[in-house]
Chains A and B, each alone.
Chain A
Amino acid sequence: MLEAQAVAALGTVVDPELDEPITDLGFVRSLQLRPGRGTDVDVEVHLRLPTSFCAPNFAYLMTSDAKDALSALPWTGRIVVELDDHHDSGLINAGIAADAGYRGTFGVEAERDLEGLRTTFRRKAHTAAMERCLTAVLRAHPDRPLESLGTVRLRDLPPGHDTEALIRRRAALGLDRRPDALVMVDHTGSGYPPDQISPALRRARATRISIEGNAHFCRGLLHTRYPDTPSPTASLIPLSVTPARPTASKESIP
């Protein structure tokens, strides 16, 4: 049961660049629980990435977030989270073990913090989730004028994975999640005038394709590097939006 709790905690850690949990991506190599002091349980986790040269800032974020997520469990004692086989493994593992923080870990290579980086990728994740929902609306209603997408509201979206994902991304950015909120908004929550709908949707599509493609490639490389991980051909990430079932959305779109 404790192991399941630890896995669930690690499942809250997201690769910021790919916008997916590290547990789904296969980045958790091993998880070990051992009796610790008193009633505490010690935890040792090893993480792995698709290449030795994945960006060190993202590698640090995931390792550090994993330790934080496990620390938040009431029963954990000593926690060791290590990143294996990365060009910065030594630096990152020493920094995480000492709870040195980002600047303490990277020294002069760090300027302030990684919050700006997180924000950039939260915005991209929202843009991609928004595009998925709006493209599904268009595929379900091919005759719908493009410019009218600027008036679609959250309550108009069919229930399902894509809509839930959009709501989560809106929460991460602090955007309005009420049913009458507009779907097509930028990261500040502002909508688009009709003549800006088409270019904004095209840009959002490029963002979505980029993120999905990277996630697909990273999964493939991880499998090539560590053949014990699931084959990416079995992965569930679609490379394009599948047409929405007409019955699911017909009544919900005006």
Chain B
Amino acid sequence: MYSKDGENYFIVDAHIALWDARPENQRNVHGKQFIDCFYDYHRNLSPESELWTYEEYLYQGGERLMKDLFEDGYVDHAIFQPAYLGEFYHRGFGQTEEASALAAAHPDRLTYNHRFDPRDGEAGLDQLRADAERFGLKGVKLYTAEWQGDSRGWRLDDPWSYRYFELCRELGIKNVHVHKGPTIRPLDRDAFDIADVDHVATDFTDLNFVVEHCGLPRLEDFCWIATQEPNVHGGLAVAMPFMHTRPRYFAQIIGELLYWIGEDRIQFSSDYALWTPRWLIEAFVDFQIPQDLTEYAPITLEQKKKILGLNAARLYDLPVPEELQLQAPPADQPATGPRGADQLSEV
């Protein structure tokens, strides 16, 4: 819980990882390139006081994670969204055993989401059944640019993907977190394109599709799809730290999201360990849209409370203490279509 100026906020960090990118786990040069890319994100967008050394960044371990999130970071509940990256790391990037054990030891604090890859075919379906039972899965994290053998990516609307979503439905895995990455076959088209999210969201209306990084670098395509599909949500991983280095850009991102998809379908996350939650939560509670950006209404207290925790708590059925709930709970079925247009001047 975070408190400021007499207001209390229930905090759900909806996208965290426990990774191991140390040299002994790197399978090839791509393992180093991948963590170096993350570290550049970290160095580029963090306040100086929050910078980690490269060695700290390679691996954190469970103890440090618990401290950064729950002792120092105000977080009430956090959700693991692991990336496998088996072609880059011997034991994978996200540490399944360590993270799931941590979640099992702190079920009130942590939810473990796992992954699947439709290119694993029938065997992968059996594995998903086993994983759902073992981890008690409520959600999965999918990275469509995962390399596998000769393949460097897959689409959510591939026929095999549909088999997996049908199984998710059967197993009660209702939250599908999607991260679009750059390499996908064929290379002819825009690899960040999120049209496949549109197709599956229409065909699986009982599943929630949380598009991580709110579709960045294709914010406009995401907004256009999400405004029409009530089961498409936006995760703020990577977008949050723009508050510090590029506050006007962040204001425009959040302004566009609130305009197109509204306040009920946006989720806070630190993307730990890319960044730590403490400074992000403090900055977001203090954040306001600059006055000269008159095309956007100011962010309200209620909107901030929903984004920081209540929206994700609703998707994951997390108990929220009475005093931290809003008077009027968020709608079960969020509205679609752009909103706020008639109250606002257009520039």
Contacts and interface: CB of A to CB of B under 8 A. Distances in A.
Contact of B188 (A110, A199, A205, A224): A110
B219 A116 contact: no
B40 A210 contact: no
B345 to A, nearest CB: 8
A224 B44 contact: yes
Interface string A106-122: 10111111101100110
A51 B42 CA distance: 13
Nearest to A105: B187
Given A55-B182, A111-B188, A216-B246, A87 B33 contact: yes
B188 A198 contact: no
Interface string B164-186: 00000000000000000111011
A201 B346 CA distance: 9
A202 B182 contact: no
A53 B347 contact: no
Contact of B245 (A116, A207, A220): A220
A135 interface: yes
Nearest to A219: B44
B37 A53 contact: yes
Q: Is the interface on chain B under 10, 10 to 19, 20 to 34, or 35 or more residues?
A: 35 or more
Main secondary structure of the interface of A (DSSP, over half): helix
B182 A214 contact: no
Contacts of B253: 209, 213
Given A199-B338, A221-B41, A109 B187 contact: yes
Nearest to A86: B33
Interface stretch (A63-71, A74-82, A138-146, A183-191): A138-146
Nearest to A213: B249
B223 interface: yes
B256 A209 contact: yes
A134 B33 CA distance: 42
Contacts of B186: 109-112
B114 to A, nearest CB: 23
A221 B188 contact: no
Contact of B220 (A110, A198, A206, A223): A206
Nearest to B33: A52
Contacts of B341: 198, 202
A201 B347 CA distance: 10
Given A114-B188, A202-B341, A240 B183 contact: no
A240 B188 contact: no
Interface in B68-96: none
A207 B45 CA distance: 23
B22 interface: no
B217 A210 contact: yes
Interface residues of A, number: 51
B199 to A, nearest CB: 18
A56 interface: yes
A150 to B, nearest CB: 13
B189 A117 contact: yes
Contacts of B36: 52
Contact of B219 (A109, A112, A209): A209
A57 B187 contact: yes
Interface in B331-347: 338, 341, 345-347
B192 interface: yes
Given A135-B347, A206-B219, A207-B220, A239 B188 contact: no
Given A199-B338, A206-B260, 19 more contacts: A17-B217, A53-B34, A53-B181, A55-B191, A109-B185, A112-B186, A113-B188, A117-B189, A146-B346, A202-B259, A202-B346, A206-B256, A207-B220, A213-B217, A213-B219, A217-B246, A221-B41, A225-B40, A240-B293
22 contacts: A50-B40, A51-B37, A53-B182, A53-B183, A109-B187, A110-B186, A110-B187, A114-B187, A116-B188, A146-B346, A198-B346, A201-B346, A209-B220, A209-B253, A209-B256, A210-B220, A213-B253, A217-B242, A220-B45, A220-B245, A221-B41, A239-B249
Interface of B: 30, 33-34, 36-37, 40-41, 43-45, 150, 152, 181-183, 185-192, 216-220, 223-224, 242, 245-246, 248-249, 252-253, 256, 259-260, 292-293, 295, 338, 341, 345-347
Interface of A: 17, 50-57, 60, 87, 106, 108-114, 116-117, 120-121, 124, 135, 138-139, 142, 146, 198-199, 201-203, 205-207, 209-210, 212-214, 216-217, 220-221, 223-225, 239-240
